[in-house]
């Protein structure tokens, strides 16, 4: 069983990696530079290459102070469209 962790440098991504390591589970963890989840082609390519069994989607736009104003567009791109890219690739 192979796990894929997105948003690997974030708080949740790092905690998930610790848990996977502690349990000796096989995983690949990618930060935003290694995999931008808004890049649909890149997401599909990573899934094709890594063939994960389980995806732990920890990539997110988390600037809640900006999310409804100047961050609205990037919020939608990452949290809605990016997460949809992950879900579609997982299908
Ligand atoms: N922390 C908690 O206690 C907690 C609890 C429950 C649920 N959650 C949920 O877990 C998710 C992550 O939260 P967090 O606390 O870990 O936030 P975080 O520390 O801000 O981490 C989010 C990570 O997502 C990355 N990211 C942003 N845009 C991206 C993109 N386009 N492609 C790939 N990666 C991208 C960021 O990369 P950069 O560092 O490069 O910006 C960052 O490393 C959120 O949905 C949050 O609601 C968190």
Q: Which residues span the domain enclosing 9?
A: 2-90
**Which protein residue's CA is at the shortest distance from atom 40 of ligand 1?**
32
Report pLDDT for 91: 95
- Cα(58) to centroid of ligand 1, in Å? 5
Structurally, the chain folds into a number of domains equal to: 1
Whether residue 35 is predicted with pLDDT greater than 90 in this model: the reply is: yes
Alpha helices in 1-91 (DSSP H): 11-22, 40-50, 72-75, 83-90
For residue 30, give the nearest of 4, 52, 12, 50 by alpha carbon.
4
The residue-averaged pLDDT of 33-58 equals 98
The residue-averaged pLDDT of 65-85 equals 94
Whether residue 67 is predicted with pLDDT greater than 90 in this model: the reply is: no
Q: Which atom of ligand 1 is found nearest the CA of 63? A: 20
Cβ neighbours for 6, distance < 8 A, ≥ 6 positions apart: 13, 30, 35, 37, 55, 56, 57, 58, 59, 86
Q: What is the domain-level CATH number for residue 11?
A: 3.40.50.720
């Amino acid at each position: 069983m192979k796990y894929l962790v997105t948003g690997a440098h974030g708080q949740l991504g790092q905690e998930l990696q610790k848990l996977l390591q502690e349990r000796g589970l096989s995983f690949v963890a990618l930060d935003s530079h290694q995999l931008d989840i808004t890049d649909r082609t890149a997401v599909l390519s990573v899934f094709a290459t890594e063939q994960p069994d389980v995806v732990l989607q920890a990539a997110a736009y988390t600037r809640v102070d900006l999310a409804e104003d100047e961050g609205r567009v990037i919020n939608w791109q990452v949290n809605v469209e990016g997460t949809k890219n992950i879900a579609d690739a997982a299908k």
